[in-house]
Structure 1
Amino acid sequence: MRERPEDFDEGLLRTALKAWGIDAPALTYAPVGFGDFHWVAGDRFVTVADVRRRSYDALRAALDTAAALRGEAGLEFVVAPLRDAEGATLRRLDRRYAMSVFPYEEGRPGEFGDEQDADERAAAIDVLAALHGTPPPLPTPVSPVQPAGRALLEGLSRGDDGLPWLGGPYSEPARDLVAGHARTLRGALEEFDRLAERPGEPVVTHGEPHPGNLLRAGGRLLLVDWDTVGMAVPERDLWLVAETGDDLARYADATGHTPDQGLLRLHRLRWALDDVAEFVQWFRAPHARTPDAEVAWRGLQGTLELLAHDG
C-alpha cells in the first residue's frame, strides 16, 4: 500500500522483531503492493496484514505452506517467510494486525499488468510447472472455486445490495457505476457457474503469479507473496502467465497436463469478480480521497469495463 496503516504504532514492529532475533532495527516504510503494508528492516522485509480483512488462521496456513515449500520441498524460487524463535511464520501485533518477516531480496520486480516477452513467460511457466508438480505440504489450504464475495455479487447483479453506500467520496460514484453494470455482473456469474462444472485435478498453486510477484534476482526468477497459495487446478495460475499456444504447449511438455481453455476462462472471471467485490467493500466502508483509494477506483472502473467487453 502507498499509505501507512491508520493508527498504527511502529514500535509494535520493533518489539515483535526481537522474536526473529532482530533488535532495534531502523525501519523504512516501503510503499509497494496493494493490500498489505511493508517495511524494510536491514536485510529483512516485514509485511503487516490487516487480519480483519482475512482470517488470521487462513493467512498462517498459507505462510506455513510457503515455508514448507522452500524448506522441506526445496523450491528455491519460493521467497518464504522466516520462522521466529517459536517456529511461527505469523505473529499477532494487536487485534487488527499481524506481521511476517521475509529475507530482503535484491532484484528487479515487475508490476501487475506488465507485458512479458516470450522468454519471460517461459521462465515463469517453468517455475509454475515445478510448483504444480510438488506434493502439497500438510498445511496447504484448499482454494475455493467460488468468489469470496459471491453473496455480495449476487445482490449487485440484481441491483439490490441492500446497504447504504456512505463511506466516503467514492461511495455514490461507485454505486452508480456498479448499478450500470448489473447486467454485466449477472452474465459473468452465469458464465462462471457453467464453467465451474468442469472437472480438474488440483495441485499446489500460487494464486497470483503475475509480473508484480515475479522478482528477477541475480539470474534467478523468484516468486513472492504467497498469501493466496492453495490447492486448485493449474489453470488458476496459468491464465495469468500463458498468452500463446506455445506457452501452453511448454507447460504441457513439462507436466503432461494440457491446460483446459474453459478453466483458464473460469479463473480469469473469478479474478475479476473477486476484484469487483473487494473494491465495492472498500467504497462502502469509511474512506478518504487518497492515492490508494484512487487506485481502487480505477481498478473498479477497469474491471467492470473488461467484464462488459469480454461478455
Structure 2
Amino acid sequence: MFSRPSFIDDTAIARTVAAHWLPAATEATHLPWGFGAYHWRVSDGTTTLFVTLDRPGRRHTGDSLEAAYAGAAALAAAGVDVVCAPLPTRSGRFTVDVKGGEGREDGAGSLSVTPWLEGRTPTQEQAGAPAHVRKVVAALAALHHAVPPAGLRAWAPLIGPGFAGELRERTARPWTSGPLAERARRALAARGDAIERWSSRYLELADVARSRRDTWVPTHGEPHHANQVLTSGGLKLVDWESLALAPRERDHPDLLAAGAGDLLRPDPAMIDLFALDWRLSEIAEYTDWFAGPHTGTADDHTALAELYEELEEPPDVLGQRQTPLR
C-alpha cells in the first residue's frame, strides 16, 4: 500500500521479524510500494529482507496464505528458478499472525518475508518488449510444467450466484461510511445490469474450467510487470500469495495484451474466465472497502479510480473475442 498502516508501527514489524526470522533485526522501513498489501525493508546491518503484511479478505485467509507461500517455497526447492521463495520461520512456517496495537482485531494480518532482491522491476512499456515477453513466456512455461506441491490450493470462483443481487441490495440506499462512499455506491448501482451479466457468464465459464480439472497447473495468478524483478541471475517473480492450481490461462492476460497470443495459443473461454475473475473480485473487494469505514487517504482515492476502471467495458484482449462478455 502507498500509505502507512494505522494499526501497526515499524518497531512492531522489526520486533516480529527478529522473533521469527532475523534475530538481530533492528531497523524496519515502510515501503510505499504496490497495492493490496503493506511492505517493509528490514535489516540487521548485514542481511536485508523484504517483508509483506497481507490482510485476510475475499481473496485469501491466513490458512490459504500459508499454503500459498509454502507452495512457492516447495516449487523453488524443486528447481523452478523463477520463484523468489518466501523464507521459513524458525518453526518451519512461512507466515506469522500479527495484530495491531493493543490487540486490535482490525489490524490482524499475516507477515511473511523473502530475500531482498538486487535488481529492477520493468516498467509496463519495458515489460511489453518482445524479448522480455519471451522471457516471461518461458518462465511461466517452467512453472506450468512443474509438479504441483502437496497442499497447493485449487482455484475457485471468488463470487457466488447471489453476488449481483446482493450488490443491488447493498447499493439501494445511501452509504455514509466515509467521504468517498457515495461516489462508489452510485458507480456500482449504475452498472448493476452489467455486473449481473458478467457474473452469469463468469459462473458458466467456471463450470467449464472445473470440468477440465485434470489439465490444471500451478499458476502465479498475477505475473504482471510489477511482480517481476530482473536480477543478475535472471527473471524472478515475487508476490506468491495468489499461487493456485488452475487453468494455465490464469497467468496469460498481460502477455496477450503484449501480443504473445501466437506463443501461448490460449483457450479464449478461459481467457474470458480470468478476465472476469479479476474484474468481479476487484469489484467485490472495493464494494467492501467503500461500504466500510474510510477517511479519504491516497489509498482510498487510488481504490476508487480502480473501481471506476473495473466498471468500464472490458477490453478485447484477443483481438477478436470468441466468447463475448455481453
TM-score exceeds 0.5 = yes
CA distance in 2, matches of 1:268, 1:188: 10
After TM superposition, give the deviation of residue 275 of structure 1 in Å: 0.8
Question: Which letter maps to 1:3?
Answer: S
Q: Is it true that 1:268 corresponds to 2:275 in the alignment?
A: yes
Q: Which region of structure 1 is more displaced relative to structure 2, 161-170 or 118-127?
A: 161-170
Aligned pairs for 1:100-115 within 5 A: 100-110=112-122
Q: Is it true that 1:11 corresponds to 2:23 in the alignment?
A: no
The percentage of aligned residue pairs carrying the same residue is 31
Aligned pairs for 1:1-311 within 5 A: 1-18=1-18, 19-42=20-43, 43-51=48-56, 54-71=60-77, 73-94=78-99, 96-110=108-122, 116-144=128-156, 146-148=157-159, 151-156=162-167, 159-161=168-170, 165-198=175-208, 199-200=211-212, 201-218=215-232, 220-243=234-257, 247-251=260-264, 258-307=265-314, 311=326
1:244 to 1:293, Cα distance in 2 relative to 1, 3 A: closer
1:261-285 CA-partner distances (Å, limit 9, x unpaired) = 1111111111111111111110001
Alignment check: 8 A CA contact 2:128 2:258 kept: no
CA distance in 2, matches of 1:41, 1:170: 34
Gaps of 5+ in 1: 252-257
Equivalent residue number for residue 321 of structure 2? none
1:44 to 1:195, Cα distance in 2 relative to 1, 3 A: same
After TM superposition, give the deviation of residue 110 of structure 1 in Å: 3.8
CA distance in 2, matches of 1:23, 1:37: 22
Alignment root-mean-square deviation, CA: 2.3
CA distance in 2, matches of 1:173, 1:66: 39
Alignment check: 8 A CA contact 1:205 1:230 kept: yes
Q: Which region of structure 1 is more displaced relative to structure 2, 48-57 or 29-38?
A: 48-57
1:24 to 1:123, Cα distance in 2 relative to 1, 3 A: closer
CA distance in 2, matches of 1:128, 1:154: 37
After TM superposition, give the deviation of residue 172 of structure 1 in Å: 0.8
1:141-160 CA-partner distances (Å, limit 9, x unpaired) = 1110x23476444422xx22
Alignment check: 8 A CA contact 2:119 2:229 kept: yes
Alignment check: 8 A CA contact 2:161 2:200 kept: no
Q: Which region of structure 1 is more displaced relative to structure 2, 231-240 or 44-53?
A: 44-53
1:183-238 CA-partner distances (Å, limit 9, x unpaired) = 11112122223333434321000111111111111261110000000010001111
After TM superposition, give the deviation of residue 287 of structure 1 in Å: 0.4
Alignment check: 8 A CA contact 1:110 1:212 kept: yes
After TM superposition, give the deviation of residue 107 of structure 1 in Å: 1.6
Q: Which region of structure 1 is more displaced relative to structure 2, 9-18 or 105-114?
A: 105-114
CA distance in 1, matches of 2:295, 2:311: 22
Gaps of 5+ in 2: 100-104, 317-324
Alignment check: 8 A CA contact 2:70 2:94 kept: yes
1:66-110 CA-partner distances (Å, limit 9, x unpaired) = 111112x11121011111211111112235122111100022114
1:220 to 1:271, Cα distance in 2 relative to 1, 3 A: same
